[in-house]
């Protein structure tokens, strides 16, 4: 396993961290002037301070998050990752009020720009319709 493979293994573990250090574990993999974009929610964070705030909200909204990588393609300067997430929807997402219900295996993908051993930019795309159906905010049919 090369250094970038190991970085993405560590990043997956950081996203699945259920203790209070989760946001800092994720941030450790990003450049100081990073850009993180959650395309699905329309949220963009520029720099680690803004990203920390976004991460803290995400970890509070789903404190028992489970995250798993299903496939990845990594080059020296970029990566594409497919993943699934599961957890309990205990806090609000923008436009998605908390339900207290579980969701599971919601699919997503991340496109990343790399700079050395850090992530310079990440754009996440995930299936909000499936999440909303599973937590009862949309009809399941």
- pLDDT in the model for residue 138: 92
Residue 95: exposure state from Cβ atoms within 10 A (0-12, 13-18, ≥19): exposed
Phi, psi of 58 (to 5 degrees): -65, -45
Specify if 93 maps to a domain: yes
Does residue 113 sit within a domain? Answer: yes
Name the residue range of residue 115's domain.
3-134
Could you tell me if residue 10 is inside a domain? yes
pTM: 0.92
Q: Is residue 58 part of a domain?
A: yes
Domain annotation covers residue 140: no
Residue 139 lies in a domain: no
pLDDT in the model for residue 1: 61
CA distance 30 to 48: 8
Write out the two tokens for 39. 């395309």
Q: Give the domain CATH number at 118.
A: 3.10.450.50
* Residue 106 domain-assigned (yes or no): yes
Sheet holding 66-74, edge to edge: 43-46, 30-38, 118-126, 102-115, 78-88, 66-74
Tell me if 29 is assigned to some domain: yes
What pLDDT score was predicted for residue 9? 87
Q: How many domains does the chain have?
A: 1
Mean pLDDT by 10 residues, the chain (141 residues): 83 88 95 97 96 94 93 94 96 90 97 96 97 93 74
């Amino acid at each position: 396993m090369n250094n970038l493979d190991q970085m993405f293994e560590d990043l997956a573990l950081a996203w699945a961290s259920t203790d209070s250090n989760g946001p800092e574990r994720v941030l450790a993999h990003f450049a100081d002037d990073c850009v993180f974009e959650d395309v699905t929610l329309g949220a963009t964070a520029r720099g680690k301070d803004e990203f920390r705030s976004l991460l803290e909200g995400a970890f509070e909204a789903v404190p028992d998050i489970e995250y798993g990588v299903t496939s990845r393609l990594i080059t020296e300067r970029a990566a594409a990752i497919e993943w699934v997430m599961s957890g309990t929807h205990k806090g609000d997402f923008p436009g998605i009020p908390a339900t207290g219900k579980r969701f599971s295996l919601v699919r997503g993908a991340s496109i990343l720009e790399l700079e050395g051993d850090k992530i310079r930019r990440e754009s996440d795309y995930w299936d909000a319709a499936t999440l909303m159906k599973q937590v009862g905010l949309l009809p399941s049919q």
